[in-house]
Structure 1
Amino acid sequence: MATTSFSKLLSQNPFLSLLQNARTASQIFQIHAQLICRALMSDSFVASRLLFAACELSNPSSIHLTAAYAELIFSQVHHPNTFFWNTIIRFHSQTSNPLRALLFFSQMRKSGIFTDNYTYPFVLKACASMPGRREGVVVHGEVVKRGFDEDLFVRNGLISMYCRSGDVELGMMLFDGFRSRDLVSWNSMIAGYSMCGKMGEAQKLFDAMPERDAFSWAILIDGYGKKIGDVRRARELFDAMPDRDLVCWNSMIDGYSGLGMMGPARELFEAMPERNVISWSILIDGYIRHGDSKEALNIFQQMLRHGMKPDKISAVGVISACAQLGALDQGRWVHFYLKKNRILFDVVVQTALIDMYMKCGSLDLARRLFDNMRERSIVTWNVMIVGLGANGYEAEAVELFDQMEKEGTLMDDLTFLAVLTACTHAGLVAKGWEIFDRMRSDFGITPKAEHYGCIVDLLGRAGRLHEARNVIETMPMKPTLTLWGSLLAACRTHRCVDLAEVSVEQLKNLGADDSGVYVLLSNIYAEEGMWDDVWRIRKLMCARGMKKEVGRSVVEVNGRVHEFVNGDVSYLEIFSVLWSLSNNIALT
């Protein structure tokens, strides 16, 4: 009967049919304009379908605009019913700002509109997506008062909320106290135990399930592979699966990739009967995280040749690969490709591009992109400050920090680490001390060992070695290898043998008994003409079997990235190309 009535409404109002078939925001805007012109927005059913269509079209790249538009439609309805409230709450529960869902839920209750069994699962999902266990407990109390605690969908929402909030015991109490369980109930509990790393309990529930789907297997495979690193057990489950879907393949590959086992991950990837963009992204991300940026770049190019459209993870991954390799030409091509194909171009992707341009030394392109951004995150500002400092524009980095403060932009400990590093490279001792002192007093941010490291480096470069030593010995936390290493490097610059020996002794006590420390001390002795001590250090290194690490370099030639190591003669051809290019440039 309901289906017949809905079909009748569609036939009577052509705009409803258009809304049902709308695929782009532009189409919805046009329909909305027609509804306003024809005074149809007063029809609650028509308005509800418009809101539903707008929420369904939400795009991660413009989610803030979609949210504003959905709320605009909602505000134009004089007396929204339960369906309106549920639609807007459901929309916000799926975004990165689930607090909006709770705010609308609160407004709904104040408006006197009755909630139903569809309202609470959306609200509970919002609670689970944020540090909202307290809010979730309050909602649970209301669920009981309203008599919805026996509803299967609401009960599943409660189980999922408690499990995702880390309170898996309460989730299990709800699970045990409810006879009418479905597959979602079982999967929610297994997922809860897996997220906590309690794979024994998860396995027991899995074995006791009356029925399973591919998601049940994927949860367990993901838990073994990623949470506790037991890829052997994960592979046993994967091989035992009656029907493997794409999610399970991706989970298994992700398990290998997370542990740096890129060989088995690649073999499984090649054996996949089908792949989606997530499959490619997992592999690209794996190669990036485990130091093989060149192969990540090759995988991305293969992905494009297979006609696969990149997502945010693969886009950020390949941009990071270009940054690590210093492959500016390929980085610019990726930037052009993303813009041309209108692929997700949000603040995360743009920040990755800024980082890439900075690391490749292209400050103009980085600054232009930064200035044109509609919104910037803390990470965006931090990347700019770090990039300016690393490229020799320390004064501009400090100016950008001052601009952040003037605009009231939120700062974090990484912001201060970035600007202190810039002060260090510029030798701005007074400014560095001022910012360091204001961290706690004006911004309420407690300095970490890294911030003390910047101050030690700042003082060391300025030749104030004993002040630097005093900072290390009086800091509130245990000194790190980096701090003493920084002081040792400063000792070489300012030729302070006594303090260098103290630094080496401290580094030995902290376990940094490697070749780099002794090579540096040997060089300090050599510069002071203390040859007996030089030979003593070198004999000590030989006796302990220490070897200096082989140098590696990366170069981009004609759009291709080449890596070579010290002593490798296989790249003589590359050098001949570079030589001929330099000669041609000189001639022109």
Structure 2
Amino acid sequence: MTRSPPSKLLLKNPLLSLLQKCRTASQIFQIHGQLITTNIISNTFAASRLIAASVVSDALTMDYAELVFTQIEQPNSFICNTMIKGYIEVSNPHRAFNLYSWMQKKGVLMDNYTYPFVLKACGLMLGLQEGREIHGEVVKRGFELDLFVRNGLIGMYCRCGETICARTLFDDGSHQKDLVSWNSMIHGYVRGGEMGEAQMLFDEMPERDVFSWAMMIDGYGKKVGDIVHAREMFDNMPQRDLVSWNSMIDGYSNVGEMVAARRLFANMPEKNAISWSIMIDGYARDGNPKEALNLFRQMVRQGTKPDKVSAVGAISACAQLGAIDQGKWIHIYLSKNRITLDVVVQTALVDMYMKCGSLDEARKMFNNMSERNVISWNVMIVGLGVNGFGEEALELFAQMEMEETLMDDLTFIGVLTACSHAGLVIEGLQIFNRMRSDYRIEPKLEHYGCLVDLLGRAGKLDEAQNVIETMPMKPNSALWGSLLSACRTHRNITLAEVSLHRLAELKEDDSGVYVIMSNIYAEEGRWDGVLWIRKLMTDRRMMKETGRSVIEVDGGVEEFINGDGSHFPRQERDLVISSLSKMMVTAI
């Protein structure tokens, strides 16, 4: 391609004007074809406009822009900058940095747009060393006086956790600062949880925008959990935008104050998909999946298109409730409305199908995933194990090993749980021992808990007790509770009493523990023990937790609580009682 400057005739070419207005793939393809047939594509300026249109379009990926880029013999800084910016927008900072390195080798001239873009890439990939190298290049090339570049450096250091380096640049009185400089520095402190430093800088700001306030609200609400201070900032804002409202309800949601979050949500002057997502995800995480699903349906009815967070929150709610029909409906809805099913959403669907017992759907989803992360593998392994397919879970674990897929702590918790449910004691012990020897992963309390459960289910109660008493860390109530449950299954009163004593020492002897112990005594005919447990619970004023159940009815979810007659109309209840009375009289 020629590197000639654009002529006046080329600048007025209608094809280039149309490129700036294009948003669909078919429009860009048509103009690209016209540029080729007219040979205008051979001009670097025209090619740069085509790349810029490709990067901006939501309908195309960076692959298409790369294809055009490779046809340019001598790309200039504008084209390279456009490509780097495009890589950043699609969250591929490594490719952005690689292109910068290529520019250096090819001698492409850098400008004051190149460095901020590539510095942002360094921040996104936490490449502190690369960022420092670029800092040196900036000084060498004389760009350190450029405000745009300096803000890029401040942002990079803050993103990499080097707030001291960022503050040194910020405090340099010989250079100009603007609102972006102040916000970048405050964002760095907020990101690191240094709210004291952030507050002092915020108080010194010569001017503030809504983003300045929203950052502080977000920091207090999410980073340090100081929701009172966050609300104080929110109430003092001279003008609130949608971001600040979302930050505040997210802060309430983050600390589990869903009543306050809902009240604020109801008073919002306007809502977007993020607002709904915060509430749906908040209810799902707070253990109120029914309300999460209700909100998801409301959002859809009001015409707001769900995003990834709201979809995952609703799917998670279905998993908690075991609402398979609702989960399938959400899956179909997402597919029909062309909402991107990325690895996060697909993994949530696998988890939902597994927890609802629909293993075939879970397998189908997992096998069709174009991309899997360690969470996807973990969810599949845990699901297979819990549903009694321990050997298949082990096969999946072996496949991870063969493919050299990254494993983490949860992977081993998953496969040990699978072994436990399937009674694969030897295999489970081998995997536990290989954690240290083969994977250099030190077993944590949760892994020892899986081991105790594995041995307890298999009836190896003495070995399970030995693991608890010899493990390198202090056992918690979950381990002794697991052993107590195993004692009931295998009718070992002596060890059950030891477990109960240990739980009492940990002050974790709740009503559920005593109910299990009472059942153990009852099954062995030890009625004196049963009476003793009941008296103990009465003296301590312990109440058995109320039983609950959830079912799907006509596309909705209904929750039933033991002793609650609200789902049973009075007339029908009276009719049933009357019928039962007549039956008893007839029988007599």
So what's the TM-score if we normalise by structure 1? 0.91
- Return 365-374 or 331-340, whichever deviates more: 365-374
Candidates 469, 488, 510, aligned match of 1:514: 510
1:120 aligns to what? Answer: 115
Matches within 5 A, 1:76-91: 76-91=71-86
Matched, 1:70 2:65: yes
> May I ask how many residue pairs the two structures share in their alignment?
567
CA distance in 1, matches of 2:362, 2:237: 48
Aligned to 2:232: 236
Q: For 1:26 and 1:447, locate their aligned partners in 2 and report how far apart those are by CA, in whole Å.
A: 54
Say which is worse superposed, 76-85 or 244-253, in terms of deviation.
Answer: 76-85
Q: Distance in 2 between matches of 1:483 and 1:423?
A: 17
CA contact (8 A) 1:156 1:188 kept: yes
Whole-Å separation in 1 of the counterparts to 2:444 and 2:39: 61
Alignment partner, residue 198 of structure 2: 202
Amino acid at match of 1:493: T
1:112 deviates by 2.0
Conserved? CA contact 2:511–2:542, under 8 Å: yes
Counterpart check, 1:144 vs 2:139: yes
Aligned partner of 1:164 in structure 2 is: 159
Output one character per residue of 1:291-316: Cα deviation in whole Å (capped at 9) or x when no partner: 11111111111111221111111111
The Cα shift of 1:172 comes to 1.6
Distance in 1 (CA, whole Å) between partners of 2:9 and 2:235 is 51
Q: Counterpart of 2:105?
A: 110
Shift of 1:555: 0.8
Determine whether 1:488 maps to 2:484.
Answer: yes
CA distance change for structure 1 residues 441 and 66 in 2, over 3 Å: closer, same or farther? Answer: farther
Q: CA deviation at 1:573?
A: 5.8
- 2:567 corresponds, among 561, 571, 575, to 571
Structure 1 counterpart of 2:463, from 467, 487, 491: 467
Note the alpha carbon deviations across 1:332-382, whole angstroms, 9 max, x for none.
111111111111221211221121122222222222222222222222222
Structure 1: which amino acid aligns with 2:429? W
The offset of 1:223, in angstroms, is 1.7
Q: Which residue of 2 aligns with 1:133?
A: 128
Alignment-derived partner of residue 296 in structure 1:
292
Q: How far apart are residue 8 of structure 1 and its match?
A: 5.1
Residues 23 and 58 in structure 2, CA contact (< 8 A), matched pair in contact too: no
Q: 1:434 corresponds to which residue?
A: 430
- Work out the CA distance in 1 between the residues paired with 2:23 and 2:122: 30
CA distance in 1, matches of 2:196, 2:398: 53
Whole-angstrom distance in 2 between the partners of 1:480 and 1:74:
59
Matched, 1:269 2:265: yes
Q: Provide the C-alpha distance between the structure 2 equivalents of 1:379 and 1:446, rounded to a whole number of angstroms.
A: 19
User: Contact 1:394 / 1:426 at 8 angstroms: preserved in 2?
Assistant: yes
| Percent identity of equivalent pairs | 65
Q: Determine which of 168, 173, 193 is the counterpart of 1:173.
A: 168
Letter in 2 for 1:11: K
Paired position in structure 1 for 2:12:
11
Cα 1:128–1:481 change in 2 (3 A) is same
1:102-141 Cα distance to aligned partner (Å, 9 max, x none): 2222222122223221111112212222332222222222
Aligned with 2:427: secondary structure? helix
Q: Which digits, 9 at most, give the CA deviation of each residue in 1:432-486, with x for residues without a partner?
A: 1222222333333332222222121111111111111222233233322222221
4+ long deviations beyond 6 Å: 4-7
CA distances 1:277-303 after superposition (whole Å, capped 9, x unpaired): 111111111111111111111111111
Change (3 A) 1:475 1:568: same
State whether structure 2 residue 362 is matched by structure 1 residue 366: yes
In structure 2, relative to structure 1, the CA distance for the partners of 1:378 and 1:6 (3 Å cut) is farther
CA shift, 1:424, in A, is 0.8
Contact kept? 2:452, 2:468, Cα under 8 Å: yes
Q: Report the counterpart of residue 527 of structure 2 in structure 1.
A: 531
Alignment CA distance shift 1:200-1:405 (3 Å): closer
Q: Shift of residue 34 of structure 1?
A: 4.4
Distance 1:309 1:165 in 2: 34
1:290-439 equivalences in 2 (<5 Å): 290-439=286-435
CA shift in 2, pair 1:263/1:478, >3 Å: same
Distance verdict in 2 for CA 1:242–1:504, change over 3 Å:
same
Q: In the superposition, relative to structure 1, how do residues 418 and 55 fare at CA in structure 2: closer, same or farther (>3 Å)?
A: same
In 1, Cα distance between equivalents of 2:382 and 2:8: 59
Q: 1:452 aligns with which of 428, 448, 454?
A: 448
In structure 2, relative to structure 1, the CA distance for the partners of 1:440 and 1:43 (3 Å cut) is farther
Pair 7,356 (structure 1): closer, same or farther in 2 beyond 3 Å: farther
Compute the displacement of 1:426 (Å).
0.7
Instruction: Report the residue type matching 1:147 in the other structure.
Output: G
AA aligned to 1:45 is F
Residues 208 and 530 of structure 1: CA distance in aligned 2, closer, same or farther (over 3 Å): same
Counterpart Cα distance in 1 of 2:500 and 2:30: 72
What amino acid does structure 2 have at the position aligned with 1:511?
K
- In the alignment, structure 1 residue 285 sits paired with structure 2 residue 281: yes
Deviation at 1:536, TM superposition (A): 2.5
Aligned partners of 1:214 and 1:245 also within 8 Å: yes
1:121-177 superposed Cα distances (whole Å, 9 cap, x missing partner): 112212222332222222222222221111101111111122222222222221110
CA distance in 2, matches of 1:25, 1:240: 46
Residue aligning to 1:580: none
In structure 2, the residue matched to 1:227 is: 223
Correspondence for 1:190: 186
Q: Post-superposition shift, 1:559?
A: 0.6
Q: Which moved more, 1:423-432 or 1:447-456?
A: 447-456
| TM-score in terms of structure 2 length | 0.91
Cα RMSD (Å): 2.3
Q: Does the Cα contact within 8 Å between 1:94 and 1:126 map onto a contact in 2?
A: no
Q: SS of the counterpart of 1:442?
A: helix
